[in-house]
Chains A and B, each alone.
Chain A
Amino acid sequence: MDTASEAAPARGRMTARRRRRLVRGVQYAVIAVVVALLAAVADWDRIAQSFLQFDIAADMFPAVWIPFWNTIVYTVLAFVFGMVVGVPIALMRVSTFAPYRWFATAYVEVFRGLPALLVLFLVGFGVPQAFPGIQYPGGVYGQVAIGLGLTSSAYIAESVRAGIQAVPKGQVEASRSLGMSHTRTMVTVVLPQALRIVVPPLTNELVMLTKDSSLVFVLGVTASTMELSKFARNELTDTANATPLLVGGLLYLLLTIPLGLLARRLENREDQR
């Protein structure tokens, strides 16, 4: 190391190590300047007044826990629906029976292509209008499970399909050579491995759903069925202050960041296999 750093200046140039250090130093300096500028330019009193009113934040509790809980419930319901529909769709996507593939492809293209909001409207208002007698199980909860779950199932189906195709062919051959049928092989050998492979993208989907649950307000929710975004927005209107948005945002992060950490841990665990 020493001989190298001595030899290089002899050629009248910086060593690679000194050059790296200089570049790194410049980057830190730029960041420091930007932060300092922002700090100087921003009107901190104004910002604090808009976002950091502690009494307003305190007033949101404990009422905020109901919409917080609803956000979790909507997310979980939609995810469960998405899995229950998405996994069979994924299996149809890789089926040897062509009509299954056609149907699954059409399904995925439609529900991946339509905005989640539009699907929610369709489920909440379009379908009841077309079929007047229809009753969703669980009322708004059923509507949300289906409305958000349909979109989610398309994404889940694509993830699971990728996972199925990532399972080594030798696993299928070994299973078939033991006399297990195609279906049995799928259920016992391929799907368990595929689902392990797609845990990271599925966690990602769960995070997306947590945020998409903010669309539920379009169905017209009451105080007991309200989710977090709607609640925060109502508070914003009532107090004419942005602090509720900050609180609501932090509560979303309270859900999504642990999910992200969990995903990373599961990913690492898979790497070790």
Chain B
Amino acid sequence: MTDPIVRISGLRKRFGDNEVLRGIDLEIAEGEVVCLIGPSGSGKSTLLRCVNLLEEPTEGAITAAGHDMTGPDADLDLARRDIGMVFQHFNLFSHMTILDNLVVPQQRVCKLPKAEAVAEARRLLAQVGIEGKERAKPAQLSGGQQQRVAIARALAVKPRLMLFDEPTSALDPEIVGEVLAVMKGLAAEGMTMLVVTHEMAFAREVADRVLFLDGGVIVEQGPPAEVLTDPKTERARTFLHRVLHPAD
């Protein structure tokens, strides 16, 4: 096998006295789809945000998409181009039109001429099923549409790896599907994806591997069929039971 696209070793993250990550080791292969599940406060979002160094690790080493993220000579701006990120609250640039949300990053980051950037933006918007909204502002779109635009924007700078931080948690249940569908399409194209999610059905269907985090450590991992159906640890069993049968 080739080198892993993400390699995390001995990762620890403290916020003041609160140690959120207590020693994470993780390798992700190119093209792999990995879902991070676990109770809130388990550190899954922090782990994700450490990969592109939106959070600075307290300890440990991270390489991602061929960049030594934690090294002394790390060029994070260059590295982050190769690591797309999708946020729970979309974070589209609220003062720009939908089209500009995709065009401006290409112009500024990839130094593409405007015409090329616009053509690529249109192609990506079509890919995520957004039509006729080019001149609209983000606030005029539904949550599901905004999140699909956010995915397209992340793809606009040609990342090799995509991070998803609870991409459907802020959405109404009936529009979760449209975002998950776009993500499925992306996975099918071979994109490497690290996804923090509560959508167990998505994890089961799309993930190559599921990681269960609790208390800042990876408690259990494996193919979704194993981890989600027949967890080995008591903690994972309890968590999955609560998620899958909330009314019990």
Residues of chain A at interface, number, CB under 8 A: 19
Q: Which residues of B contact A237 (CB under 8 A)?
A: none
**CB-based contact B153/A178 at 8 Å:** yes
B202 sits at the interface (CB 8 A) = no
A222 sits at the interface (CB 8 A) = no
A214 sits at the interface (CB 8 A) = no
**CB-based contact B77/A188 at 8 Å:** no
Q: Which residues of B contact A188 (CB under 8 A)?
A: 104, 108
Q: What's the Cα separation between A175 and B76 when bound, in Å?
A: 12
A19 sits at the interface (CB 8 A) = no
**In the complex, which residues 84-130 of chain B have their Cβ closer than 8 Å to any Cβ of chain A?**
84-85, 87, 89, 91-95, 104-105, 108-109
Q: Which residues of B contact A18 (CB under 8 A)?
A: none
Most chain A beta carbons < 10 A, residue from B89, B91, B139, B156: B91
- Chain B, Cβ-Cβ closest to A175: B93
Q: Which residues of B contact A193 (CB under 8 A)?
A: 93-95
Task: Provide the A88-106 mask, 1 if CB < 8 A to any CB of B, else 0.
Answer: 0000000000000000000
Q: What's the Cα separation between A168 and B92 when bound, in Å?
A: 11
**CB-based contact A180/B84 at 8 Å:** no
Residues of chain B at interface, number, CB under 8 A: 30
Q: Which residues of A contact B109 (CB under 8 A)?
A: 178-180
B80 sits at the interface (CB 8 A) = yes
Q: Which residues of A contact B83 (CB under 8 A)?
A: 177
Task: Provide the B126-141 mask, 1 if CB < 8 A to any CB of A, else 0.
Answer: 0000000000010100
Q: Which residues of A contact B20 (CB under 8 A)?
A: none
B66 → chain A, closest Cβ, in Å?
14
Given A170-B87, A174-B87, A273-B137, check contact A180 B105 (CB 8 Å): yes
Q: Which residues of A contact B54 (CB under 8 A)?
A: 173, 176-177
**CB-based contact B81/A174 at 8 Å:** no
B175 sits at the interface (CB 8 A) = no
Q: What's the Cα separation between A188 and B104 when bound, in Å?
A: 9
Given A192-B95, A273-B94, A273-B137, check contact A180 B108 (CB 8 Å): yes
- Chain B, Cβ-Cβ closest to A172: B91
Closest 5 CB pairs of A and B: A179-B81, A174-B91, A170-B91, A177-B85, A179-B80
Residues of B at under 8 Å CB distance from A? 52, 54, 76-81, 83-85, 87, 89, 91-95, 104-105, 108-109, 137, 139, 150, 153-154, 156-157, 163
18 extra A-B contacts, CB within 8 A, seeds A173-B85, A177-B54, A180-B108: A174-B87, A174-B93, A174-B153, A175-B93, A176-B77, A177-B80, A177-B85, A177-B154, A178-B80, A178-B156, A179-B79, A180-B105, A184-B108, A189-B93, A193-B95, A273-B94, A273-B137, A273-B139
